Structure 1
């Protein structure tokens, strides 16, 4: 059972007669399917570009004649600016809908990915990556709301796991591109390819109808005779009331996401570089090990999301976090490719298994009127909190 203060603050879920998972799948409409997969695709695109930097650190150091630490500053800038995007696009989505804010968000990602592939100086590279952080910050909250809020309760745990592992699939796609095209055409092609995939995701979202959940809320506003200026005032008032009433819940969510961002970024961002510089792997072998690790991530997210539907969100998270602790020695101590690849696979089963529950966990915690803003902002502020802790301790 959740702590008392959370039971009091977390909005109650709607009660309905339980159905089997199979029956719930059979009842899904084509619209629910395409809304889910359009959100999944958006989150996958986001991951492709973010990990493009992680996978090409060694090439970027040669391109700009900088140290590894200086190059990874780009990752830091991207992460620091993500809360800005989460706030901007989250508010736009809760105010104007899931569809068009996400389309604009994806197109911005496309433009900035193209820009990254054309930069010639290190300051240009840092500037584009900082701007990309704003665009990236908006994707997760919008993609999560688009994908999950219209699904039946019985499928939200499974869908949460599959949605979150769009992140691992994006990493996997980036690693495959790095293994093939980058070896022949250089690091820039990785960002150009990512831009094309982001553009495709934006086009897909254009043809997917708006969220039924948002449309119902909009109809209720129209029935009350609320005009545009009144809507803005009401939204601002509701935001203030939400922060006043749910401030403790907001703090809890940020602390939760701080811990989770330690798990994901600590285990993924520089692991290819670690394998090359510390274990002496070639760039090819480091990329293959990364691909194997992300296969574990996809499996872990799907398993944990499904399990959470039966044993609960919190218990599922605890079990998979404990698995991480068990496999840490296998992840860092061996020197052989086979052992470290197995460690990468197992550690990512735990990391992304725990993460697979997070989209639905945050969605269920969110006040109903802020299902795009609350999860995204909590996620990104938690990430900034992680970086500040690392900086203070480092």
Structure 2
């Protein structure tokens, strides 16, 4: 990033001044940057964002080992998403198998999301303390075993109990996968690779929908999809055994020196005490985002089956095309965020998705629903494509595994009733379906909810922080000596010597 030495006002301190400065900076093309020199002195200046670069040249910056870590992280996140969507896209089958309502089945989704935050804390702190490797290995293998246990659940209560336990271990995947995949990436390539990584969630949905399409619409076929999910999770865990620990984790541990027993947990309390405002902001943002994705997709297959009258094969094909749009949108918008900014990319994508809602729920027929679903999820997951690197850049370096996972999963916990709420309201209200009969009002419920959520994301992001291009090489020991909340605009590095010749830390407001 080039420097023009044009001085800027210091980063604002306090919640309200920071929000005002964030809103103002949103309309300025240059970035407000805090620069630290080797003596620890700081200046705040305006800098021009990096030029848009060829994505293939950015990917070429990754070494072979960078690619190994990225691909394993992507595979873990994809398998995690497959495990989750193996249930959500088979809601109708499962309701018939257990002889309960679709709302009852969505209760399993609620329980899964509710307990993911606990798993995120457990495995996130384990990843920061013991490394990215073995916590992920244990996590993925146990997930596969729980998928098998789901298959052998003979009663609905057993099914709910296993899915609750499944949620506990599912929550541990995201934080470790994101940290392992992105902390080793070159700075310029982070936006692009973040967009690709986040699409592991969409790819998991696509693979689950393909499996559902392949096994057909018979009630008992849901078990085959769960067997496939179990194989994927266990396979990823075994593959992770073959590769070394994250280099960034090892370097951070080395820079942090040897710690006495319990020191890590003392640092955790210190981080929460000093950066609680950043934690709260990220949890609010992730709550919006999790409502955004679950409201717009978890009941979409059910919507096509009930309100639009599609058969299982047609609904599965439309779902596959819909999430293909998500994969494309997340990659492109994540890539563009490196140039236009994380916040601008999220806001524009969210607002466009809100404008597309009528075209998303009103069409009839597989072709029209596939096209509108493709465009809708292009922007929904396009906004999501920025999130992995956005959270990683906001996270304290010593907690880059736990912070994104915990904030993401706490947002998931708060938004956990989303599918259940949509199903309950839709089953209590009726509209005229494609066949002329009165059917559950899934379309209007999803449309109104998604519009409210998209606007909430735009407003929350507009007044929030951004640290695009933040150095991931700041020593852990220095980072833990912070004396002010980052969002209040001041690090302790202005009082302590920094070992690097020059660290640039970007805080776009």
TM-score, normalized by the shorter chain, greater than 0.5: yes
Counterpart-to-counterpart distance in 2, 1:159 and 1:186:
35
SS at match of 2:149: helix
- Tell me which residue corresponds to 1:187: 222
Which of 343, 352, 363 does residue 334 from structure 1 map onto? 363
Aligned counterparts, 1:89-168, within 5 A: 89-168=123-202
Alignment of 1:343 onto 2:372: yes
Seen in structure 2, the aligned counterparts of structure 1 residues 282 and 96 have a Cα distance that, compared at 3 Å, is same
Post-superposition Cα deviations, 1:344-371, rounded to whole Å, max 9, x if no partner, equal 1111001100000000000000011111
Contact 1:182-1:189 at 8 Å conserved across structures? no
Cα offset, 1:13, TM superposition? 9.5
Counterpart-to-counterpart distance in 2, 1:3 and 1:346:
38
Seen in structure 2, the aligned counterparts of structure 1 residues 136 and 149 have a Cα distance that, compared at 3 Å, is same
Alignment of 1:67 onto 2:101: yes
Seen in structure 2, the aligned counterparts of structure 1 residues 95 and 333 have a Cα distance that, compared at 3 Å, is same
Where in structure 2 are there 5+ consecutive unaligned residues?
Answer: 1-7, 22-32, 38-48, 426-509
Counterpart-to-counterpart distance in 2, 1:171 and 1:358:
18
Aligned counterparts, 1:184-333, within 5 A: 186-221=221-256, 224-226=257-259, 230=260, 232-333=261-362
Q: Which moved more, 1:272-281 or 1:102-111?
A: 272-281
- Tell me which residue corresponds to 2:406: 377
Alignment of 1:79 onto 2:108: no
Cα offset, 1:18, TM superposition? 7.2
Counterpart-to-counterpart distance in 2, 1:387 and 1:131:
15
Seen in structure 2, the aligned counterparts of structure 1 residues 290 and 240 have a Cα distance that, compared at 3 Å, is same
Counterpart-to-counterpart distance in 2, 1:308 and 1:328:
24
Query: Which structure's CA Rg is the greater one?
Result: 2
Counterpart-to-counterpart distance in 1, 2:192 and 2:164:
33
Which of 349, 352, 362 does residue 381 from structure 2 map onto? 352
Counterpart-to-counterpart distance in 1, 2:12 and 2:85:
36
Seen in structure 2, the aligned counterparts of structure 1 residues 49 and 216 have a Cα distance that, compared at 3 Å, is same
Contact 1:261-1:383 at 8 Å conserved across structures? yes
Contact 1:98-1:210 at 8 Å conserved across structures? yes
Q: Which moved more, 1:67-76 or 1:352-361?
A: 67-76
Could you state the TM-score of these two structures normalised by the residue count of structure 1?
0.92
Post-superposition Cα deviations, 1:41-87, rounded to whole Å, max 9, x if no partner, equal 00000110111111111111111110111111111110001001000
Contact 1:272-1:287 at 8 Å conserved across structures? yes
Where in structure 1 are there 5+ consecutive unaligned residues?
Answer: none
The count of corresponding residues between Structure 1 and Structure 2 is 385
Counterpart-to-counterpart distance in 2, 1:240 and 1:304:
35
List 4+ stretches of structure 1 deviating above 4 A.
1-8, 11-15, 17-24, 182-185, 388-394
Contact 2:182-2:190 at 8 Å conserved across structures? yes
SS at match of 1:335: coil
Q: Which moved more, 1:22-31 or 1:201-210?
A: 22-31
Contact 1:321-1:351 at 8 Å conserved across structures? yes
Counterpart-to-counterpart distance in 1, 2:294 and 2:176:
21
RMSD of aligned residue pairs (Cα, Å): 2.5
Could you state the TM-score of these two structures normalised by the residue count of structure 2?
0.72
Cα offset, 1:25, TM superposition? 3.2
Cα offset, 1:200, TM superposition? 1.2
SS at match of 1:334: coil
Counterpart-to-counterpart distance in 2, 1:309 and 1:78:
33
Cα offset, 1:5, TM superposition? 5.0
Seen in structure 2, the aligned counterparts of structure 1 residues 331 and 241 have a Cα distance that, compared at 3 Å, is same
Greater strand fraction, Structure 1 or Structure 2 = 2
Cα offset, 1:3, TM superposition? 7.1
